[in-house]
Structure 1
Amino acid sequence: MLGLTEDYFSHPGNRLGLSSHEELQIAIESCREIIMRLPETSKRREKLVERLVELRLKLQDPTENEPNLKTVLGHQFIKQMSKTMKRNCDCCSKTIWGLFQMWYYCQACGFKCHEKCVGATRRSCVALAVKSTYQLKICPEVGLSNQMYSCAECKNPISITGGTADEARLCDYNGLYYCPNCHWNDLVSTPARVLHNWDHTPYKVSRGSYQLLKSSEKRALLEVREINPMLFNFVEELAQIRKLREDILKMKPYFLTCSIALELKLLCKLEDRQHFVDGSHMYSMRDLTQAMDGSLTQDLSRTHTEFAKHIKLDCLFCQAKGFVCEICNAGETLFPFDSMVSICPRCSAVFHSDCFSCIDTMCPRCKRKQQKKQTSWEESSSSDDD
């Protein structure tokens, strides 16, 4: 096609009167042009792609002298080279040809761009924008006039009635308008719609909002009890998850004082959801999504069953920390995470719910402690009088 053969790419033999390094560079550029012109399904293209990779390995590319890590607007860009062809640059929206183009990737937010576009990056790293919570108003549209008919990110002119190049696209997450270069019609569920309407339908958002929501989907930023407590009454899965989380927190003290549990690292089974071990009120967007499809309930149920089996059946040390109902003195050993039990708020003793509801003032354990304290005080007073 260009008068070059695959053998030329394989063995640059100083045919142009240049150094082998210069000939390799010329061969690589020519090979790139041929690959771009050949159909994607062409067998010759596949062979040339493999040859191009070999040539790149032979040649010490000048880009290798570039730093592997660049910091721009909070992005921690890391130099990449891959065989994946289908990537788009978040800066110029054009294709990144991973086989023969160097590109950079931000590990914090997923921003991808050509090497030449690093300096032209306009969007700050969204990982820096993730604070203590999300924007929780449903599509708070501000209007194009308030944006001065310009893109919220790059400030290029946009219009509702404009053509493809300057089309105004609404971001469902923050209510701002963007140009097509900054808004690729990515679809994602937004926290506001999920929490207020339990609506997990994906809506169109800007690239910045998409990267923000994706990079923070595992972070526990949502306190459902404060934002919409009625959600637990209408979503059965959430109510079940809340109960399972509360039970697991009641099991936690057993594992922290049990040498066998510490050796087995039982609590590490929830290391991917550390907030489940720290409390029962915070949720991540991933938690809510998996609560909707039922997978989180199944996972937590299996973990709950495994934890309860260790405490009640497998471990004698944990079994010894159970309670006997001191009101009826009957039945099996009780544990705080059992169903149909009540826990004294003063001494944390466990009783059958029916028995505990019959108590007028204090539970037997609290009375016993009070009597012991009173006796000790009286003995102390009598010894002082003597």
Structure 2
Amino acid sequence: MRTLSIVVFFGCLFISKITHAQEITPPSYFLEFMEENPDKFHLTYNDNFGRLIKWNDDELSTVGGLVYWIYVLEYVRQVNNGNFSPTERVKLDELEKFDANSNKMKIWHDYLHHNRKLLKEKVRIREVVSGLINFTTDANSDYLMSLLSVDSVQQAVRTFHMHNTTALFPMSSAIIYAHNPYQEEENAFVNKLKSENLQEFRQHTFQMFDTLTHDSTGLVKASFQFRPDKHKKYAALLTDRLPLGLVSDYNLLMQKINERSNDIFWGDMAEEWKKAVEAPLMSSKVMQEHYKHCGRLVYSTVNSVSITLYGTFKDGKRAQLTATFDDLTETEHIDLALAINDFGFSIFENKEYFNQLKQKIEIIRLKKK
């Protein structure tokens, strides 16, 4: 079956995506990687036909930007409460001040221009949310945290029953902080960051967030200097501090979203979710042929890749997938990230690939006994 794939492009920070309809190719490398590296991945798949595939699903792993689902659920909750209008516009400057010179922001900005979604360099809040999920533009998450309030976003972990997810913090501010924006002496900066415990790291991240939030003139952000040639070294300092969670929790959350469960959606929340999250994917005629609705979030760091995917097909099938791949070498990271969308959609749409995955997990389980 053809569907909408996301062509993955790597920029200076993490992962950027450009939407493009193309044939889905089942990636055999994922299956090989899993058998060779059973301790480097966590996976849960289930559907309404009773099929279940899982591996290391009850162990904490780096979920990174998968926490953005929680941000967006809090967003639709506040829209439903009338806290603000999703069509209200915000200056792009208010988002870009949280950005660490990432290609993701540039690609999202080009997308907004190409699709005429900007009015005098202002974008609707709904598009900010859409950009967060479909382009994983980290700066958008920090803007949303400032809009929704830090307390509300952190409370949302409990509101939406994601109790095993570690404490949330402003991700883009963390990226900026970890990339030595004030250009301190390199070894001293690296040693300082390595010596910080998680509480100290989060404290400094929130200090950066507060500084950027109140940087109305943009002078502070303009004073920052980023060294692309040092990105891998600095980014590696961040990956161990990213949010952790259980893939089983996130897959259950995907199931509730897919089913429009009253456990997480009330009032008109589901309608705003459809407009903000699912509309970009479902704008494809190819997707419309096969799906009633579908949502997907892919996130990548220098040594991890993760995906959450849910969809309800027109034939009644309803499926969810969550997978994280951690502690990757540079080659592993590139190979997995480039095919992560094909991996997800192939499990959903290709029976042969689904069976190969199921058999591979059974083989891995036997080897581990």
Q: Do both share a fold (TM > 0.5)?
A: no
* Structure in which a larger fraction of residues adopt strand: 2
TM-score, normalised to structure 2, is 0.19
* Structure in which a larger fraction of residues adopt helix: 2
Larger Rg: 1
TM-score, normalised to structure 1, is 0.18
Structure having greater relative contact order (Cα 8 Å, sep ≥ 6)? 2
